[in-house]
Chain A
């Protein structure tokens, strides 16, 4: 390249930098434990900024995204209960319509390889399209959402702050929501503190026994440290004939995926009842009873479950005690994650 061309690029570069400073963008770096794998999410495509995250949070809590302005993301994903919808086996959306699946927890999403119980959504940036559009959830569509946001007094300026563009697009709405969700990291439970060797924090005898049981029975699917391998598995749940939900098979159209659902994380499991893709179990004790004697055999049953667990009543109590150590109050009550005050 000619010398003249080189100098022009330097000048353009300088101008670009000064525009960046003018906009006062605040880059944010995610912090997570050293022993965690690298995130799956490509942050280069959607770098986290304070402005983007705040905008995303505002959108997450805004019922404007729904057809009748009644349902926001937080309606089914409440921060204090691990960003799920407790006490509901199946969630309800606009006009009290009932959906077909239990609302999953939202945490550590940057490590997800797929989204939804059947992995229908493969990237967090496009996940919000599903609830926004589902007739039993928010009943709207992304183009309508964009138009509504553009007509508000406040949002165009917030989009300008976050993306240098007050012209709102579907891409920017979704990226902002993704940015907020990516910050929802839970890594400070008692379990984490014990693993880190934090001073004065130890498992009780019960919890220690429960951890051993966990490693013997549950670890193949609910792999530490994320407490999920992110894979799909058939854990022996008999099909609910009122729903006829065959899970992953609907997406891959392969019979070997029949009745397989995404292995959820066990973090904050104390707070994310009811359990399973259709919320059929209200308590952890019921879950353990299922693994003890409720597993239904089938060609796609996960090999690790071919032999039922033989947990005694004491075992169950110990195992539940361990699972309770996965509760992370600093996550559940983090003011940065809950309803924005402004």
Chain B
């Protein structure tokens, strides 16, 4: 129970960074994808249901596991876990986005508070991933792109499971590779995805695949 085993816990930060080609980006750096350039002005997403596993079995689950990772200011954010010292693990598992049960449970607080700007007002549900900026690939107003990815209902759920190989003693530094995300966008893609549906689902899969583990330097 909390409070009685404090001496036996260790804090494990999960660090997130905006990257391209495994190198950390400053927000507003230009990202070149073939002949198009992209600049990210907003990047934030929810991660949830964080678990550590050992040999395929769950050894630790975070309670009330919902975190809004905000990469829009410094390009970096971290989430702190506190695992008991005695645990061995070889895998970190979390969801990119909010599970459907939480989506229908009503209004929540903390990182899930609707004032965070990650909850659709005209249709219920969380925005799992928000990426905004400008790109020469967009002939929208001001060349702006807005990807607000979410939706939990059949047939277009968007939550993604992310697996990371790791072990005690190793720092966990995850890069969100925006260049990889933009590279996978269809040449005739739309620059605005702001509601649940097939596009939101496709882009969510791409976002999930854009996470990579940055090795210790």
Contacts and interface: CB of A to CB of B under 8 A. Distances in A.
Interface of A: 1, 5, 42, 45-46, 120-126, 129-130, 132-134, 141-143, 146, 169-172, 174-175, 178, 251-253
B110 to A, nearest CB: 8
Given A121-B124, A170-B116, A172-B109, 9 more contacts: A120-B123, A126-B106, A126-B107, A126-B119, A133-B122, A141-B117, A142-B121, A169-B113, A253-B156
Contact of A130 (B1, B106, B121, B156): B121
B123 A142 contact: no
Given A133-B122, A251-B123, A126 B109 contact: no
The list of the 7 closest CB pairs from A to B, nearest first, reads A171-B109, A170-B115, A125-B106, A125-B107, A133-B121, A129-B121, A143-B115
Interface residues of B, number: 23
B114 interface: yes
B100 to A, nearest CB: 11
Contacts of A169: 109, 113, 115
B107 A171 contact: yes
A76 to B, nearest CB: 16
Contacts of B4: 5
A123 B153 CA distance: 15
Nearest to B112: A171
A141 B156 CA distance: 27
Contacts of A129: 114, 119, 121
A170 B124 contact: no
B124 A123 contact: yes
A122 B109 contact: no
Query: Which interface residue of B113, B121, B122 has the most chain A CB atoms within 10 A?
Result: B121
A45 B115 contact: no
A171 B124 contact: no
B197 interface: yes
A1 B122 CA distance: 48
A125 B114 CA distance: 11
A45 B122 contact: no
A1 B119 CA distance: 41
B108 interface: yes
B105 interface: yes
Contact of A5 (B1, B106, B108, B196): B1
A251 B153 CA distance: 10
A234 to B, nearest CB: 20
Interface of B: 1, 4, 104-109, 112-117, 119, 121-124, 153, 156, 196-197
B157 to A, nearest CB: 13
Contacts, number: 71
A130 B107 contact: no
Contacts of A1: 1
Query: Which interface residue of A45, A126, A132, A141 has the most chain B CB atoms within 10 A?
Result: A126
B106 A46 contact: yes
Contacts of A141: 117, 121
A252 B4 CA distance: 49
Given A142-B115, A171-B114, A252-B153, A132 B121 contact: yes
A280 B154 CA distance: 33
Contacts of A42: 105-106
Nearest to B3: A8
A123 B122 contact: no
Given A5-B4, A142-B114, A252-B153, A174 B123 contact: no
Contacts of A175: 107
A96 to B, nearest CB: 21
Contacts of B153: 252
15 contacts: A1-B1, A5-B1, A45-B106, A121-B123, A121-B124, A123-B105, A125-B106, A130-B122, A141-B117, A143-B117, A170-B109, A171-B113, A171-B114, A174-B114, A252-B153
B207 to A, nearest CB: 21
B202 to A, nearest CB: 14
Query: Which interface residue of B106, B108, B113, B153 has the most chain A CB atoms within 10 A?
Result: B106
Query: Which interface residue of B4, B112, B123, B156 has the most chain A CB atoms within 10 A?
Result: B123
Contacts of B123: 120-121, 251
A162 to B, nearest CB: 14
Contacts of A132: 121
B54 to A, nearest CB: 26
A88 B113 CA distance: 34
Nearest to A171: B109
Contacts of B1: 1, 5
Contacts of A133: 121-122
A178 B105 CA distance: 14
A130 B113 CA distance: 15
A262 to B, nearest CB: 14
Given A5-B4, A175-B107, A120 B122 contact: yes
